Amino acid sequence: MKPFIAAIGLVLITIGGGQPPVAMPAASCESLTTIGLPHTAVTRAQLVPAGQFAATPEGVLAPGAPSFRPYNALPDLCRVTATLTPSADSEIKVEVWMPTSAAWNGKFEAVGNGGWAGQISLQALAGGVGRGYAVAATDTGHSTPGGSFAFGHPEKLTDFAHRAVHEMTTVAKALLAAYYGNGPRLSYWNGCSTGGRQGLMEAQRYPADFDGIIAGAPAADMTHLLTHSIWVAQAAHRPGARLSNEQYTRLHRAVLDACDAHDGVTDGVIEDPTQCGFDPRTIQCEGAVDAAACLTPAQVEAVRAIYSPARNPRTGAEIFPGQERGSEMSWAAGLAGTTPLSIATDYWKYVVFAKPDWDFTTLDFDADVARADALDRGEMNVREPKLEAFARRGGKLLLYHGWNDPLIAPRNTVNYYTAATRSLGASQAADSVRLFMMPGAGHCAGGDGPSNFDQLGVMEEWVEQRRAPTQIVATHVNGSAVDRTRPLCPYPQTAAYRGTGDTNKAENFTCR
Q: Which residues contact 41 (CB under 8 A, 6 or more apart)?
A: 1, 82, 83, 84, 85
> Which sequence spans correspond to the domains of the chain?
11-221+380-511, 224-359
**Is 415 in contact with 383 (CB distance < 8 Å)?**
no
Q: Which residues contact 391 (CB under 8 A, 6 or more apart)?
A: 424, 428, 429, 431, 432, 433
Q: What is the pLDDT of residues 312-321, one digit of tens each?
A: 999 999 999 9
Confidence of residue 4 (pLDDT cuts 50, 70, 90): very low
Query: What average pLDDT does range 222-226 have in this prediction?
Result: 97
Residue from 162, 228, 443, 476 carrying the catalytic annotation: 443
Q: With 90 as the cut, is the pLDDT of residue 59 above it? A: no
Q: Is 405 a catalytic residue?
A: yes
Dist CA 456 CA 215 (whole Å): 11
Confidence of residue 337 (pLDDT cuts 50, 70, 90): confident
- Alpha carbon dihedral 104, 105, 107, 110, in 10-degree steps, equals -60
Residue from 193, 229, 327, 330 carrying the catalytic annotation: 193
Dist CA 346 CA 469 (whole Å): 38
Confidence of residue 365 (pLDDT cuts 50, 70, 90): very high
Distances 186 to 110, 133, 230, 311 between C-alpha atoms, Å: 11, 10, 41, 42
* DSSP string covering 473-496: EEEEEETTEEEEEEEE-BTT--EE
Dist CA 32 CA 46 (whole Å): 9
Q: What is the pLDDT of residues 284-312, one digit of tens each?
A: 998 755 557 899 999 999 999 999 999 99
The CATH code of domain 11-221+380-511 reads 3.40.50.1820
Q: With 70 as the cut, is the pLDDT of residue 155 above it? A: yes
pLDDT at 267: 96
Dist CA 18 CA 307 (whole Å): 62
Residue from 159, 211, 260, 405 carrying the catalytic annotation: 405
Write the burial class of residue 262 (CB in 10 Å: 0-12 exposed, 13-18 middle, 19+ buried): middle
Q: With 50 as the cut, is the pLDDT of residue 22 above it? A: no
Span between the terminal Cα atoms of the chain, in Å: 59
Closest by CA position to 230, among listed 297, 152, 176, 305 = 305
Q: With 70 as the cut, is the pLDDT of residue 68 above it? A: no
pLDDT at 55: 60
- The rounded percent of the chain whose pLDDT value lies above 70 is 91
**Is 402 in contact with 486 (CB distance < 8 Å)?**
no
Query: What average pLDDT does range 352-371 have in this prediction?
Result: 97
pLDDT at 291: 59
Write the burial class of residue 20 (CB in 10 Å: 0-12 exposed, 13-18 middle, 19+ buried): exposed
pLDDT at 23: 43
Bridge partners, 134 (sequence order):
108
Q: With 80 as the cut, is the pLDDT of residue 15 above it? A: no
Question: What pTM, to 2 d.p., does this model score?
Answer: 0.92
Q: Can you say whether the dihedral through the CA atoms of 428, 430, 434, 437 is positive or negative?
A: positive
Q: What is the pLDDT of residues 427-485, one digit of tens each?
A: 999 999 999 999 999 999 999 999 999 999 999 999 999 999 999 999 999 988 999 99
484 phi/psi in degrees, rounded to 5: -160, 140
34 phi/psi in degrees, rounded to 5: -105, 10
Helix axes 194-205, 164-180, angle to 10 degrees: 80
Residue 411: Cβ within 10 Å count = 21
341 phi/psi in degrees, rounded to 5: -60, 130
Q: Is 327 a catalytic residue?
A: no
pLDDT at 61: 41
pLDDT at 355: 97
Confidence of residue 395 (pLDDT cuts 50, 70, 90): very high
Q: What is the pLDDT of residues 401-429, one digit of tens each?
A: 999 999 999 999 999 999 999 999 999 99
**Longest CA span, the chain:** 84
360 phi/psi in degrees, rounded to 5: -60, -25
